[in-house]
Each structure stands twice: as structure tokens, then as C-alpha cells.
Structure 1
Amino acid sequence: MGVLLFIAGFIGILVSSILLFVDLINKRRLRYKVVSLALSFGLIGLAYLNFSVENPKETKAQPTVTELEPETLPWASDEEPDEETLALQKELRKVIHDAFGSWNGFNGRDTILQLDYNSERKSAFIRVFGKDGLTTNLIKRTIWQDAHDVLKKVKLMNGVEAVDFQIVLPLKADNGDIAHEIVMKMTFSAKAFAAIDWGDFPFEKMPQAADVYWVHRALD
């Protein structure tokens, strides 16, 4: 139906245009020719609407994004942190943002997914988005360097003696869905953390320095 309307409208425009041109040359009245031309354009418009209804545009399904649930820590406390703890957490947050960036490049949100601190253990738990890279090796090296920069500054702070890192990246499944997954874990106990001079320590040796080091197969 839409094709027939389009053809009729096109023929109407062609004929009306020729007649209008002839009438203009001969200085005749143009009223009926103008009406005919307008009707022809109307047929073209109807043809377009009919085609749009018969052939609706397909909307591409958006991928499902699955985010991580917060980590339940055995030493976590339900008590409200005191002012000293809040100040230390604020300082930690700034240090992490300086190294990993304030906003991640995947969804535009805060790079820090979870930050917990236990004053009795003097331990910090950091779950943070890593950065994307051209190769898996570059991604790992960037994570090591960013974590190294955090530890170098944390060493100068009072109140943090052990750090546990969880690095997160979005991984795409075969069906296009995306899941935020932990791609690297690094745990530095108080003993390991204190034994290293982070100012001179090369970031490439982060895996060997950690008490626990684990990497997802996606980064192998």
C-alpha cells in the first residue's frame, strides 16, 4: 500500500510540476495546479507513514549489567565509626582516587566500590575498578602500579598496617551481557607491608610481595 501511494504521489508531483511550468509561461491561473501539487505531496507523506507502520525500526536490546554485592568482612562492625576513623577513611579515599582515578571509565561512577577500615586490626579493605588497556599485560601492570602508589602513600599514614585489594573489571559474556567481576586480589599483611620500602620498591614485583595474589583467567 505504501509503495502504491508513493508512486501515485510521485506521478502527481511530476505532472503538476509540468503543468505549473506551462501555466507560468502562458500566465494562466495556477490555483488548481497548486492544489494538485499539494495533494501529490500529501500522498507522498501518507506513503511514508504507511511504510513506517509496516516496517517499524528494530530496537537493539541493551545488555544486562550485573554488579557485585558488597563483600561481607569477618571483622566488619555495625558500630558507627568515630571521628578519627572517619578522617582516616576520607584520607584513604583521596589516596585511592589519586592512584586509580575518581571516576571509572565504564559507567562513569565512583572508582571505589567498597572501602572498609578496622581500627583494631589497623586493616583496610579496598575494592576498586581497575583501568582498561590494550592488552591483558598492560592492564595488569597498570593495576600493580596503581596499587603500589596507594601503598606508598598509605605507608606514610598512621593507622593502616595491612591492606587487602580487590580489583574489578566489567567482563562481557558471549551473549553480550556484562558482569562486574573481581579480576585480581592482593593481600598485604602487616608483616609483609612493614617489610617493604615502598618508595624504592618496583611495582612489577607486587605479585611476589603480596601474601596472597590471585588473578582471573581473563587476564592470563
Structure 2
Amino acid sequence: MEYIMSIAFIGFVILIVLGFKRRKKKDGNHKKYFIWSVALLAVSLVSYLFVDDTKFQPTAEELAAQEEEKDQKAKEKEEAELAENKKEEQENAEKEAEEAKIQKEQEAQKLADEKEAKEEEAKKEEEKLQKEKEEQEAKEKEEAEKAKADKEAKEKATAKKKENNSIENRVKNAVHKSFGEKNDFDKKDSIVNLSFNKDKGYLSLQVFGQDSLTTNMIKTGMWIKVTDVLENLVKEKDIKDIDISIIFPMQDQYGKQSNDTVMSISFSRETIDKIDFGNFQHDNIPNVADEYWHHPIFNK
């Protein structure tokens, strides 16, 4: 039966192939091939039904081989799963190690950033303290300089006040008040020289006379100014003796000009105290002075 089934099935395949070829060639007999092929297929199926099923059952050896093959496949599958699990575990371990490494690096970076931030903050705080210190030092320095300047200004003012209150300064003010601060010729200070010896009470004065229309008016103006100076200094009891030299621009016969002394007058304290300045006539200067001299030009 097995043989018939096999032959019938092979015949079925051959007839089907031939039938399709005949049909392709448009041969009218191709239907016979298909009919015979169907018949052979039916024979093959019927033969199959009558085949003893036990012949298709595996033997003990085949079963053992199949079981062994099954066990082998199960073992291989288990080994494959173990290998896969091991691989997965290794990959997981590597992933965890990588993640741990990244986390460690991140933590290290975070610590580094925090350290840098703290250092930056400490630096800023230090700079702030340094700036405050410098500002404080600058302020203290400025205050010290201001205090020093105020002290110097105060000392200077005191010195100036003291100087203004000095006898030399009072004499200078009295002379400027009478003869003017500037002379009539080069517009410089009218006082040429002023010196006072405190120990001896001796005052020496050289001053420019003032110009006028005539020689006589110049001389008379000199007497008037000298009288004013003496009146302003009458209360200066420290002055015991006064020498006054009056300077005036002169020109010799060769045309040479020079500032010469044209009048010299000396007074002692005793003589000054005798003068009643309320009634004194300035033209008496030559008569009351302890010593008197004027240039011959004033004799004309």
C-alpha cells in the first residue's frame, strides 16, 4: 500500500505538469491529463487511509534519539539563555559601572563647582574687605590730610595774624597809608627797605617819594607824608629811633638815571613824643628832626 500510494502521488504530479504544458500549447487533450491526475490523487489518498499507522510511529531508538535531541536543544537553549543572561548581566554591570562613573564624575564636577563658587565668593569677600579697607585708609588719609591742612592753615593764619600784629607790619601799613602801596615810577612797592632792631628799638626806612608838578611841591609832599607816618607810629613805644630815607629818580648831567636818596630824616623817641600832631605844621620837619638833610635840588 505504501508503494501504491507513492506511485500514485508521483503519477499525480507528473500528470498535473503535463496537463499544464498541454494546456499552454492549447492541446485539447490536456483535460484528460487533469482527470487522470485527479484519479491518481484519489488513489494516493485512499492508499494513505489503508496504511498501517504503526509503521509511521518512531521506534524506541528513534524516540531515545528524539529525546536526546530534545534534551540537547533544551540544554542548548538553556545555555543560550544563560549566555544571554550573562551577557545581559555583563551589559547591565557595564551600564551600571558607566552610570556610576558618570554619577561620580558629576558629583566630582559638582564638588569642584561648589569649591570654585566658594573660592569665588571668598575672593569677592576678600576683595570687598580689601576695598573697604582701602576706602577706610583713603578716608583716614583724607581726614588726616584735611586735619593737617586745617592745622597748617590755622597755624598760617595765626602766623599771619601774628605777623600782621608785628611792629614791622604795623610800620609797613602806616607807610603804605601815607606814601601809597605802589610808587609812581615803576609801580612796584613804595617801600624799598624796612628793618627794625627790636633790641635797640631802631627803625630804618627807605621809601619812594611821590611825584608832583614842581620840585617844591615834591619836597612839601615828602614832609607831609613823613608827618603822617610819625603820627601813625606815635603809639609804637618800642620804636626808640627812626631813620627815614626818601628815594626819588634822579638824572645827572650826562643823562644817567638812578634812584637816589633825596631826603634823610632822623627822629628819636623823645622828639616824637614832643610833637603835638594836632597842631604840628609839616614845614617844621627840618627844624624839629634830630637830623635832617635834603638834596640841593630842593634849594632852588
TM over 0.5: yes
Q: Give the match for residue 121 of structure 1.
A: 200
CA–CA distance in 2 between the matches of 1:144 and 1:107?
A: 22
Q: Give the match for residue 97 of structure 1.
A: 176
SS at match of 1:91: helix
Q: Deviations over 1:149-199 (max 9, x none)?
A: 000010023422321110010001234321110000000012212221223
Q: 1:144 aligns with which of 207, 223, 240?
A: 223
1:167 equivalent in alignment to 2:226: no
Cα displacement (A) at 1:130:
0.3
Q: Give the match for residue 117 of structure 2.
A: none
Partner amino acid, structure 1, of 2:200:
R
- Of Structure 1 and Structure 2, the greater helix share is in 2
Partner amino acid, structure 2, of 1:97:
H
Relative to structure 1, the CA distance from residue 123 to residue 85 in structure 2 (aligned partners, 3 Å threshold; closer, same or farther) is: farther
Q: Give the match for residue 134 of structure 1.
A: 213
Cα displacement (A) at 1:133:
1.6
Partner amino acid, structure 2, of 1:167:
I
1:154 equivalent in alignment to 2:233: yes
1:217 equivalent in alignment to 2:279: no
CA–CA distance in 2 between the matches of 1:177 and 1:84?
A: 39
Q: 1:204 aligns with which of 277, 283, 298?
A: 283
CA–CA distance in 2 between the matches of 1:207 and 1:102?
A: 25
SS at match of 1:201: coil
1:195 equivalent in alignment to 2:247: no
Aligned residues of 1:161 and 1:193 also touching (Cα < 8 A) = no
Higher relative contact order (CA 8 A, sep 6+): 1
SS at match of 2:219: helix
Q: Which runs of 4+ in 1 moved over 4 A?
A: 83-86
SS at match of 2:247: strand
Cα displacement (A) at 1:86:
7.2
- Of Structure 1 and Structure 2, the greater strand share is in 1
CA–CA distance in 1 between the matches of 2:164 and 2:290?
A: 25
When the two chains are superposed, the root-mean-square deviation of aligned CA atoms in Å is 1.8
CA–CA distance in 2 between the matches of 1:185 and 1:170?
A: 15
CA–CA distance in 1 between the matches of 2:199 and 2:165?
A: 14
Q: Give the match for residue 35 of structure 1.
A: none
Relative to structure 1, the CA distance from residue 189 to residue 218 in structure 2 (aligned partners, 3 Å threshold; closer, same or farther) is: same
Relative to structure 1, the CA distance from residue 141 to residue 110 in structure 2 (aligned partners, 3 Å threshold; closer, same or farther) is: same
Structure 2 unaligned residues grouped into runs of 5+: 1-161
CA–CA distance in 2 between the matches of 1:186 and 1:126?
A: 10
Q: Deviations over 1:119-153 (max 9, x none)?
A: 12222111000011222211111000000000001
1:181 equivalent in alignment to 2:260: yes
